[in-house]
Amino acid sequence: MSKHASYWKANLRLVLGCLVVWFLASFVFGILLAEQLNSIRLGGYKLGFWFSQQGSIYIFVALTFFYAWRANKLDHEFGVRED
């Protein structure tokens, strides 16, 4: 397989992994399982409510930087970095 094709494959794996976390943090913990998680408390927050109004946002921020860091590393590894 060519260098570019394997770079693209590695990139897709990275994106897919990040999207799983993205989906869990918002749709699963914040919506689908919110009712169940609400029986757990985080201070004055019910946990499902916390995920939907606070936690998911913190996770999104971390995830975007993680992706940028990993993708830049991939560019290096496969020698496809600009300049």
Partner 1 sequence: MDLQTLTYVVVGATFALYIGIAIWARAKSTSDFYVAGKGIPPVLNGMATAADWMSAASFISMAGLIAFYGYGGSVFLMGWTGGYVLLAMLLAPYLRKYGKFTVPEFIGDRYYGKSARILAVICLIIASVTYVIGQMKGIGVAFSRFLETDYDTGLYIGMGIVFIYAVMGGMKGITYTQIAQYCVLIFAYTVPAVFISMHLTGNPIPQLGLGSKMADGSGMFLLDKLDETLKGLGFAEYTTNARLSTFNMFVYTMSLMIGTAGLPHVIMRFFTVPRVRDARASAGWALVFIALLYTVAPAVGAMARMNLMDTIQPAPGQWLEVEQRPQWFKNWEKTGLLKFEDKNGDGRIQYVADPEKNEMVKVDRDIMVLANPEIAKLPNWVVALVVAGGLAAALSTAAGLLLAISSSISHDLLKGVFTPNISEKSELMASRVAMAGAIAAAGYLGLHPPDFAAGTVALAFGLAASSIFPALMMGIFSKRMNKQGAMAGMLVGIGITLFYVFQHKGIFFIADWKYLQSWGSNWFLGIEPNAFGAIGAVFNFTVAFLVSRVTAPPPEHIQHMVEDIRVPAGAGDAAGH
Per CB under 8 A, residues contacting partner 1 are 4, 7-8, 11, 15, 18-19, 22, 26-27, 30-32, 34-35, 38, 42-46, 49-50, 52-54, 56-58, 60-61, 63-65, 67-68, 71-72, 75, 79-83
Nearer to partner 1, 1 or 44 (CB): 44
Nearer to partner 1, 1 or 61 (CB): 61
Place of tokens 């060519």: 2
DSSP 3-33: HHHHHHHHHHHHHHHHHHHHHIIIIIIIIIT
SS3 state of residue 80 = coil
